[in-house]
Structure 1
């Protein structure tokens, strides 16, 4: 799973193909089959992970055998997930020659400079359709959580508060009903295949698809009539017929590739969300790295200044080198003054960048491979699986750093969390 993003279904299939004659090894009749299925792979994965976690904490794994297996693991998974929030990852306090350098403090004494990179990736799971609601769904097929269950009877058109009509997802307004008709068409297999051809720039001489359909960010809108603005303005109604998914997974990665922490962002990748994520991940001033790269640090820095947040007073917040060169305007005086990496001389040595500010994007290339595996998982399993993959990958990275003579080590936690 860690190295090749293999799903539980394919793991079971590989095992069964590898031992097709296993049944002949049993001489006497036995009520159990020697082939395994996807559910057994997942049960083994979660139980094994929980046992390893309990062993590392010198605790005992206790499960209620009177409830079904999926419910039996829920409490244990939730407990482990809570332990991983903030500085819960085993290698949260990692340091090595590639992500930690020696510098001189203002008084001339030697000090350590640690570098981390923050970035998000669009891996999501089903969540409540109310913006930024973090309450878990009762079922993965639900659109709203228990608290917002009454929203199921409201028209799916954004900003419309009217009740739906029986058999429909929209109210009685003609333009809203037309959006529902177009949405049904766009959800057909033929329409989706046609759109896939368009994305691949494949020319098809004869088309049976409607040419007057346009789409918004969520689902298609209808637009009729001549050019120019209508009397009602040019705003188009938008709808969300399907389930909402979490916006992204935010990772904080050392410049050598160790993932220090992860958080789920529900509504957007806002500057305040990044600030709160860093607060939770580095709860004390001493634990905050000396430099944290982020592609939107100029807005994060502005927010920190406006809120007079002193938590990051000893931390440089530059934009990573790639985004600074290609996506930030030279005319932005604030960004150039506070977030230009070249403004910080400690980030360079012999006219070369000391740290790899693209470490998070490189890590996201690996992390994104799990989208197909986790996209329908419940919250407890989703969180546990991703944290487990991160922990396993960190162990592989540390072994690689040892082979590279990068001298990886862990800073004592009691020195950082004071």
Structure 2
């Protein structure tokens, strides 16, 4: 999943008309950088992040994906993003990143489309992929916006990297706690460990 964290849309102190007694500083705010783009696993673990200058364009997104996944065989099977149609169009035009049908009904993508029964027992197709992980990350990191907007670029990079590391560690702890509290998952892990040892 890709998501942009809107640390943006504020006029730069560098470009403002300075009052005579106002100190001139260079802060991390637009127009130098438009937003922070993240790649998250569906569980919420942050895989990568970068800053986008000026725009969250399809070309910038594809370049970011290529920098994180330079080997086609290691690219994710699916990418979920709110600009998917525009991104798909750009990818097709440039002949890069073969994209899937987001709603295949032939059972080839059970992580995207599932069959669910309504209250009357009638089967219907339902989107299985959930984008809440990115929304939760955006909401959490957005709480730091007023602080990071007043940082220089180096401090911002360090702070953002640290915050995303902390977020990822929290997600991993929650997943481990779920596994520890779920006997079925514990049994499956034990079986996997035995297969590896054996």
TM-score normalised by the chain length of structure 2: 0.69
Q: Find out whether 1:360 has 2:134 as its counterpart.
A: yes
Instruction: For 2:42 and 2:58, locate their aligned partners in 1 and report how far apart those are by CA, in whole Å.
Output: 21
Instruction: For 1:385 and 1:280, locate their aligned partners in 2 and report how far apart those are by CA, in whole Å.
Output: 22
**Map of 2:39 onto structure 1:** 252
Matches within 5 A, 1:142-291: 142-143=14-15, 244=31, 246-291=33-78
Gaps of 5+ in 1: 1-116, 130-140, 144-155, 157-168, 170-183, 185-241, 317-337, 410-418
- Paired residues in the alignment total 159
**Map of 2:151 onto structure 1:** 377
Q: CA deviation at 1:342?
A: 2.3
**Map of 1:27 onto structure 2:** none
Instruction: For 2:74 and 2:129, locate their aligned partners in 1 and report how far apart those are by CA, in whole Å.
Output: 19
State whether residues 124 and 245 of structure 1, in contact with CA within 8 Å, keep that contact through their aligned partners in structure 2.
no
Matches within 5 A, 1:328-367: 338=101, 341-343=102-104, 345=107, 346=109, 347-351=112-116, 352-367=126-141
Q: CA deviation at 1:378?
A: 1.0
State whether residues 125 and 245 of structure 1, in contact with CA within 8 Å, keep that contact through their aligned partners in structure 2.
no
State whether residues 5 and 138 of structure 2, in contact with CA within 8 Å, keep that contact through their aligned partners in structure 1.
yes
**Map of 2:82 onto structure 1:** 295
Instruction: For 1:355 and 1:243, locate their aligned partners in 2 and report how far apart those are by CA, in whole Å.
Output: 33
State whether residues 30 and 54 of structure 2, in contact with CA within 8 Å, keep that contact through their aligned partners in structure 1.
no
List structure 1 runs of 4+ shifted beyond 6 angstroms. none
Instruction: For 2:63 and 2:79, locate their aligned partners in 1 and report how far apart those are by CA, in whole Å.
Output: 14
Secondary structure of 1:119's counterpart equals strand
Among candidates 173, 177, 188, match of residue 399 of structure 1: 173
Secondary structure of 2:143's counterpart equals helix
Query: Which has the larger Rg?
Result: 1
Among candidates 139, 160, 177, match of residue 386 of structure 1: 160
**Map of 2:6 onto structure 1:** 122
Instruction: For 2:154 and 2:35, locate their aligned partners in 1 and report how far apart those are by CA, in whole Å.
Output: 17
Instruction: From the superposition, tell whether residues 243 and 268 of structure 1 become closer, same or farther in structure 2 (CA, over 3 Å).
Output: closer
Secondary structure of 1:290's counterpart equals coil
State whether residues 272 and 303 of structure 1, in contact with CA within 8 Å, keep that contact through their aligned partners in structure 2.
yes
Instruction: For 2:91 and 2:172, locate their aligned partners in 1 and report how far apart those are by CA, in whole Å.
Output: 33
